[in-house]
Amino acid sequence: MSHTHLMNDPKRRKLLFSAGLSWMFDAMDVGMISFIVAALATEWSLSSQQIGVLTSTTSIGMVFGAALAGFLADKYGRKNILLWTLLIFSAASGLSALATGFVMLCIFRFIAGFGLGGELPVASTLVSESMPVEDRGRAVVLLESFWAAGWILSALIAYFIIPDYGWKMAFVIGALPAFYALYLRRAIEDPPRYLQQKSARKLTFIQRVQSVWSQEHRKTTIMLWILWFTVVFSYYGMFLWLPTVMLDKGFSLVKSFQYVLIMTLAQLPGYFTAAYFIEKYGRKFVLVTYLIFTALSAIWFGYADSVGTLMAAGICLSFFNLGAWGGLYAYSPELYPTRVRSTGVGLATSFGRIGGVIAPLLVGVLKGRGTSIESIFIMFFIVILIGAFGVMLLGKETKGRELAD
């Protein structure tokens, strides 16, 4: 019933791969903006405040996208909303190439963020609901690993396309996933588990939110919101600033990009080990262990001074942080019944995304005030530990349990 079982079923394999590609495009779009910003900063002579605002607008869009798409996916089906979110972020990416100024670009990035934020929780719920109990966690972590592929793809596009063809071309490439949506329309189906829940589609948004915060789910929801916030906050705070932190520690831009790429590659084994442990030792084990090691890696990275220690700490940071993300996406859909599953996951994700808005801006402000890199990473150390303890104290184990309808 193990690993082979999932990969032997062609229908499930196709679903995982199809949803995985939509994740890859999502990551490609998010990754690309961090490289495009560097090119734009010189061309439009943007201040660091403006760069902060531009990266944050995507995240603000994600806050709204996750909450709304989660609700709509419970009402109109996982598949429909997955296709729409994909179309929205592809279209907005293509239109970004036409942006003539800063404000216009921010508006397009907000719309792109709306689609990007909505696509992730819906895709993970779809995969979670379509898999048998013994493969469910592993399948979602494997879905997550497509994120690293998309991020690497964005680095390659940045490297080969932006210098010769400019940033507009990178945005145009970001519009190509729209064509993929046409293929997806025929390739995937809504899970039977969702289709059987006819009555649930009549619930209003308020009723769904009340259900997520009802007596029976309240403890879970508090735990999940804390967890999402702390993980997203630390990820976007640390990883969006990595190239800059490298520059501050005295490396050239080219070297910094190379190092960040190597650290990104460390994400893949992070996912694969988490995919293995999540079915062996459970969700709580993976989340708590990987988060504690992420926190330790953050402290280590903040204090690292030589190339060797910096690389080692950065690789560990990548490995454990992304393993924890895998656990997070696998765990979330298992905590709610089918009728409000997407809403529950969407709201937790949405609340988490607020951390993704605050963290990059906060790091910018702290750096502007002359706060040391060490102190900034001590802050991340504390935040991540709060997330780990939240799971330890409030979380319930869902390994081997059938999803609730």
Domain regions of the chain by residue span: 12-182+209-394
pLDDT of residue 4: 55
pLDDT tens track for 204-231 = 889 999 999 999 999 999 999 999 999 9
CB 217 within 8 A of CB 336: yes
Residues contacting residue 198 through CB under 8 Å, at least 6 positions apart: none
Per-residue CA distances from 103 to 40, 44, 51, 116, 166 (Å): 13, 12, 12, 20, 20
pLDDT of residue 140: 87
pLDDT tens, N- to C-terminus, the chain (405 residues): 445 566 678 888 999 999 999 999 999 998 888 778 877 877 888 877 788 788 888 889 999 999 999 999 999 999 999 999 999 999 999 999 999 999 999 999 999 999 999 999 899 999 999 998 888 888 988 888 898 889 888 888 887 888 888 889 999 999 999 999 888 888 889 998 888 887 777 888 899 999 999 999 999 999 999 999 999 999 988 887 777 777 777 776 667 667 777 887 888 888 889 988 988 899 999 999 999 999 999 999 989 888 888 889 989 999 999 899 989 988 999 999 988 999 999 999 999 999 988 988 888 788 878 888 899 999 999 999 999 999 999 888 888 777 787
Number of CB atoms found within 10 A of residue 261's CB: 14
CA proximity to 70, closest of 30, 19, 125: 125
**Own/partner long-range contacts of 126-129 (Cβ < 8 Å, ≥24 apart):** 126/15, 126/19, 126/78, 126/79, 126/82, 126/188, 126/190, 126/191, 127/15, 127/16, 127/19, 128/330, 128/333, 128/334, 128/403, 129/78, 129/191, 129/193, 129/194, 129/333, 129/338, 129/341, 129/403
Number of CB atoms found within 10 A of residue 201's CB: 12
What one-character DSSP code corresponds to residue 262?
Answer: H
Superfamily for domain range 12-182+209-394: MFS general substrate transporter like domains (1.20.1250.20)
pLDDT of residue 275: 86
